[in-house]
Structure 1
Amino acid sequence: MSSKFQRYTGGALSSHDQVARALGADIITGIYPPGSKIPPEAEILDRFGISRTVLREVLKTLTAKGLIVSKTRVGTKVLDQAHWNMFDSDVLSWKVASGFNADFQRDLTEIRLAIEPEAAALAAQRATPDQIALLRQRVEAMRDARESRIAFAEADLAFHQVIGRASGNMLMRSISGVIETALVASFTMASPVDEDAEHDKSVGLHARIVDAIEAGDCDAARSAMRNTIGHGRQRIDKAEKHKTG
């Protein structure tokens, strides 16, 4: 598994990251529901075999992500979901670990449709020749990834990250964690590489985005991005129906 997706598997993580991931997942899955207290320090230290220093850093991390709050004489309590930073890559990955339900899949698609088509439209105005060349390279990497879900997903992620940079908008670039999470859903549930026709269609849709950006056609870039995101959602819906059918 590439380092880009290690947070989703727990592989090659530090003690701090492993414990944060475990406690974060316990909170997000409801083992420690909002309003409840996380286990006392001694219990956590015994469970993970870590030092108090590592635990303090873990709690700081979870606090910064909006999952918990510590108060004197009250203890450390789990916050309501309204406080969770769902744009944080780690929080998203912990959500992935709890499972892709229909509501979460819908939320991912909706936020991508709200932002990425506009990023593509801006890229049509602002992309440099080097960025366009890089997008072409990413499309070719996707084309070559016929037998590896991971290789395809990595090329796909890199493509969308270049779009974010080419938009010239730093806030649009910041949603890369959302895109990464959506692509994890794609390659774990319904990767285009599983079927030749789906693979060719996905590559073609991404190529059309680049064509529109290179032509400076904002409307076409916007539409092509919508179609690409829609195609990914259709694959996931198809996989879900097949699984439950």
Structure 2
Amino acid sequence: MSASNDAPVGPLRSTQVLSTHEQIVRALAQDILTGRLAPGEKLPLEADLLDRFGVSRTALREGLKTLAAKGFLSVKTRVGTRVTDPVHWNYFDREVLTWQVSGGMDADFRRQLAEVRRALEPAAAALAAQRRTTEDLVAMRHAVQKMQVKALSEHDFALADLALHVAIGAASQNPMMRSLASVIETALLEVFTLSPPTRDLRLQADTAAAHERIVDLIERQDGPGAAEAMLFVIDAGYERVEAERRG
């Protein structure tokens, strides 16, 4: 992702303990994603990397293979290992997206995520209107009811919001669409916490009502209406976050 004028927003921190392999891969991925290692730049010498991470040569090389498989590195004999252009990075790899989120969500990343959501989620809502089951509707209604609970924590509201979008993706009954949606779940949960509606009871109620309208239209099997309602929710959330960041 390209640089932005505003500082990236920090993620929800994990207490997960990483393996040696994961530590190497994540550290170098963060160097690349943040531009500390720029596209076209050669990696530091192997000896320097071994000293930095305190690992075996085998562990280091396995880590580099993982990054190469995700499109971050190009390994060529007699040329060395170089950082590739971002066009080759696999952002639809769950780990890659997690690394990006853990490094912070700058304006470019938020915009690009919103663009992907605008392309994907309205279509999922339209399909859900055609194919939803009773069980799907129950899951959607449960998520909306959770979003309506007063004094709900910011994190719990974000989880309920995410649960609704996941349920709609599942109701589309398109496994490829559901798989794409599952990849961005980590980023969605993060972005849902940037400007939580729970800070204002009226805003929380309005936000929950906008999401409930999507479910109502899906239940009525109104595909175009559900798609439009989903687009409204995506744009409203994006504009709220950006307005707060500018403020």
Q: Please say whether Structure 1 and Structure 2 have the same fold, judged by a TM-score greater than 0.5.
A: yes
| Contact 1:20/1:58, CA 8 A, preserved across alignment | yes
TM-score by length of 2: 0.86
| Contact 1:112/1:179, CA 8 A, preserved across alignment | no
* Pair 54,147 (structure 1): closer, same or farther in 2 beyond 3 Å: farther
1:166-224 Cα distance to aligned partner (Å, 9 max, x none): 1111221123333531431230x211222222211221111111111111111121111
| Contact 1:113/1:226, CA 8 A, preserved across alignment | yes
Please identify, of 158-167 and 12-21, the stretch whose mean Cα deviation from structure 2 is larger.
Answer: 12-21
Q: What is the SS of the residue equivalent to 2:25?
A: helix
Please identify, of 158-167 and 42-51, the stretch whose mean Cα deviation from structure 2 is larger.
Answer: 42-51
Aligned residue identity for 1:11: T
Structure 1 CA distance for aligned equivalents of residues 195 and 54 of structure 2: 38
Q: Does 1:205 align with 2:210?
A: yes
Structure 1 CA distance for aligned equivalents of residues 39 and 22 of structure 2: 22
Structure 2 CA distance for aligned equivalents of residues 63 and 55 of structure 1: 12
Which residue of structure 2 aligns with residue 9 of structure 1?
Answer: 13
| Contact 1:70/1:76, CA 8 A, preserved across alignment | yes
Alpha-carbon distance, 1:25 to partner: 1.0
1:62-85 Cα distance to aligned partner (Å, 9 max, x none): 112111121222222100011011
Match of residue 44, structure 1, among 33, 49, 52 = 49
Structure 1 CA distance for aligned equivalents of residues 80 and 103 of structure 2: 26
Q: What is the SS of the residue equivalent to 1:216?
A: coil
Alpha-carbon distance, 1:98 to partner: 4.0
Structure 1 CA distance for aligned equivalents of residues 203 and 23 of structure 2: 36
* Pair 125,99 (structure 1): closer, same or farther in 2 beyond 3 Å: same
Which residue of structure 2 aligns with residue 181 of structure 1?
Answer: 187
Which residue of structure 2 aligns with residue 3 of structure 1?
Answer: none
Q: What is the SS of the residue equivalent to 2:75?
A: strand
Alpha-carbon distance, 1:135 to partner: 1.1
Match of residue 164, structure 1, among 160, 164, 169 = 169
Q: Which runs of 5+ in 1 are unaligned?
A: 1-6
Name whichever structure is richer in helix by fraction: 1
Identity across aligned pairs (percent)? 45
User: Number of paired residues?
Assistant: 235
Structure 2 CA distance for aligned equivalents of residues 145 and 52 of structure 1: 54
Alpha-carbon distance, 1:36 to partner: 0.8
Alpha-carbon distance, 1:96 to partner: 2.9
Which residue of structure 2 aligns with residue 80 of structure 1?
Answer: 85
1:10-54 Cα distance to aligned partner (Å, 9 max, x none): 531422323322211110111110111122333223222333343
Structure 1 CA distance for aligned equivalents of residues 101 and 155 of structure 2: 16
Structure 1 CA distance for aligned equivalents of residues 13 and 183 of structure 2: 15
Q: Choose between structure 1 and 2 for higher RCO, CA contacts under 8 A separated by at least 6 residues.
A: 2
Match of residue 128, structure 1, among 110, 125, 133 = 133
